[in-house]
Structure 1
Amino acid sequence: MSAHETASLLQLCRIMRPDDANIVGNVHGGNILKMIEEAGCIVGTRHCNAQNGDRCMAALVRVEKTEFLFPMFIGEVAHVTAEITYASQHSLEVQVKVTAENILTGAKKLTNKAALWYVPCSLKNVNKVMKVPPIKYADQEQEEQGRKRYEAQKLERMETKARTEEVVPPPSNPEDPPKEQYTVGYSQSTLIHLVGPSDCTLHHYVHGGVTMKLMDEVAGIVAARHCNTNIVTASVDAINFHRKINKGCVVTVTGRLTFVSNKSMEIEVLVDASSLVEPDKYRAVSAFFSFISLDKDNKPLPVPPLKIEGEDEQRRFDEGNARYILNKAKRLAAKERQQ
């Protein structure tokens, strides 16, 4: 077996501490996303450096839909397994599974599954994308399925970038009249963060996992404001990384409700980046997060309906409803295949 084949699988584990959890004791969804991205980055970087030539670092460009199947709690051990499942000439797909282990009872449960896409960037020139070493497939069908996923995500990334360039209005000033409860404006939230060295890779741009953690935090605030209850991340639709965020930039993370069903909320999260010394401002990352509301026994609660104001909010609500119906159909189809 060659060196690049042995570098295509990674297993990590870490015990969950109190500082990994939210205010009610569940492990923060953003921390799980961060662990997933770190594992993907490690296995992707190892694989791409198992060849001669410039040293490189795997840069995250997209995360496919991520399901939060079960909550994880303080004291449990998170086992993260990352495997490279497809390699094109300049990008690779990493599939990641997270399992929670109760070390007192030995019980294990699959909590998360995700697929991530990376491109290898040269350490000498961050704008130079390196070639990816080939991987060994079990059969031709596996390779063909991977190629179809590659083409689909490439197209969707381009479509999403064009769709998310709109400017998000800032939240109301404290002096403004209060927004009516259950409206988009009432729960919309923004976080502003100065990118420091600890947030960054060897290339001096932000780790994808750091960005995802900030996005999950803002989405969680939006969901909590709308419901005024305990909320947890249920799933994350594709996260698209449109442009790199450099050290020293100011990132503005904005979350707003787009759709509400009886038991779930969809929240659009947009990340804009700007330099402290230059006027350039650009859309860096975009995604849709889904949250559910829970009672004190962690049982799902009905979600208050969303009050729509204006044509833009109605359009986003209708688009969110279409995504909800599509995702529900996919879950039912997957459940039937497992039976």
Structure 2
Amino acid sequence: MSASQAREAASPLQLCRIMRPDDANIVGNVHGGIILKMIEEAGCIVGTRHCNTQSGDRGVAALVRVEKTEFLFPVFIGEVAHVTAEITYTSKHSLEVQVKVMAENILTGAKKLANKAALWYVPCSLQNVDKIMQVPPIKYASAEQEEEGKKRYEAQKMERLETKARIEEVVPPPPNPEQHTVGFSQSSLIHLVGPSDCTLHHYVHGGVTMKLMDEVAGIVAARHCNTNIVTASVDAINFHRKINKGCVVTVTGRMTFASNKSMEIEVLVDASPLMEKGKEKYRAVSAFFTFISLDKDNRPLPVPPLKIDGEEEQRRFEEGKARYLHNKAKRLADKEAAAHQN
């Protein structure tokens, strides 16, 4: 399809629903995994709609990567979450969807930007989910907007390839590990993928996987601190391979780094076909979650230092520290840029 045939992007999708008690974590805030699931559902809908505006084969948008996701404010039970998803870039075989979550207190009318994320999808044919279809191009407001989108596309493509190349095995923790060590808080969840977890094409919804990952990361953070904890952000989530119905997934979380105010937890998802002989376990998804510890009044608490044992843990700690410092510098730069604009 030529540039002259580029289409207007599908209208931004807007979803909203009230947060119910079954959306809460054990201390009453809306579970971070619920927010991630809502973000992915909105992205999937707007992406699938756009990919089916062309003639020919029908397809569905499959999630391949979620960029760093900021949890700016907690969402509470009784508030209404407004989720807006908009396509902001398309390549030949993928599209970027940017999503924002506004939380509304319907008693006072007050609204706050609670979350924002960028997700990448590829369209898979309904006839064969392993076949990647072409994406209809969109019109851009300016050449600069298209160029910025292209830069984001190239960057995420490179990072996905790098992440896939450094997949490593998860080592089980030692028996009776010391408190505040990696082994002490390391946690795993085993889940059999059923029909309710899947798309119509029998592979797992990305939002379902992200919710499981957030649950495991939260358990790790709570075990390390023994306090109320909340998701602060999620670094890029890379979906390496699809997870099909009937697979057993093992979601493992382990501490990699702790500052005095936050904890980084690496979460790895491995899938193993239950009924198919000869099919081995494979790495399906990986990401880094950041949590903070809160007191009973939702004020930040100091995080216990992480005790490091061995070269591998030290390597992961240094890599986590580098990510922490990079993200901190970026937040300060964004804050300064916003101040100059005002």
Check if 1:168 corresponds to 2:166: no
The separation in 1 between residues aligned to 2:21 and 2:329, in whole angstroms, is 37
Alignment map for 1:245-284 (pairs within 5 Å): 245-277=243-275, 278=277, 279-284=279-284
Shift, 1:156, TM fit: 0.3
User: Residue in 1 aligned with 2:203?
Assistant: 205
1:96 and 2:99 are equivalent in the alignment: yes
**Counterpart of 2:25?**
22
Q: In the alignment, residue 296 of structure 2 is paired with which amino acid? A: K
Counterpart among 36, 51, 54 of residue 51 in structure 1: 54
Deviations 1:281-331 (A, max 9, x none): 100000000000000000000000000000000000000000000000000
Residue of structure 2 aligned with 1:37, choices 20, 40, 43: 40
Aligned mates of 2:78, 2:63 — CA distance in 1: 29
User: In the TM superposition, what is the alpha-carbon distance from 1:261 to its structure 2 partner?
Assistant: 0.1
Q: Which runs of 5+ in 1 are unaligned?
A: none
Q: Distance in 2 between matches of 1:66 and 1:232?
A: 14
Q: Pick from 219, 230, 233: which aligns with 1:235?
A: 233
1:220 alignment partner AA: G
Equivalent position amino acid for 2:247 in 1: C
Question: Do residues 312 (structure 1) and 312 (structure 2) align?
Answer: yes
SS in 1 for 2:308: coil
The match for 1:122 is 125
Task: Give the count of matched residue pairs.
Answer: 333
Stretches of structure 2 lacking an aligned partner (at least 5 in a row) = none
Q: Which one of 66, 71, 74 corresponds to residue 68 of structure 1?
A: 71
Q: What percentage of residue pairs aligned between the two structures are identical?
A: 84
Q: What displacement does 1:200 show? A: 0.5
The answer to whether the 8 Å contact 2:124/2:133 transfers is yes
| 1:234–1:290 contact (8 Å) kept in structure 2 | yes
The offset of 1:85, in angstroms, is 0.1
Alpha-carbon distance in 2 for matches of 1:161, 1:14: 36
Sort the Cα spacing of 1:214 and 1:98 in 2 relative to 1 into closer, same or farther, 3 A: same
- Report if aligned partners of 2:75, 2:114 keep a CA contact under 8 Å in 1: yes
Deviation at 1:171, TM superposition (A): 4.3
Q: CA RMSD in A?
A: 1.2
TM-score (normalised: structure 1): 0.97
**Cα offset, 1:51, TM superposition:** 1.0
Q: CA deviation at 1:202?
A: 1.7
Give the Å deviation of 1:3.
11
Corresponding position of 1:296: 296
> What per-residue deviation string (whole Å, max 9, x for no partner) do you get for residues 155-213 of structure 1?
000001111x21102345xxx4x210000000000000000001001221000000000
1:5 paired residue among 3, 8, 12: 8
Contact 2:9 2:87 in 1 (8 A): no
Taking the aligned partners of 1:203 and 1:170, their CA distance within structure 2 comes to 34
Matches of 1:132 and 1:317, distance apart in 2 = 40
Residue 7 of structure 1 deviates from its aligned partner by 2.1
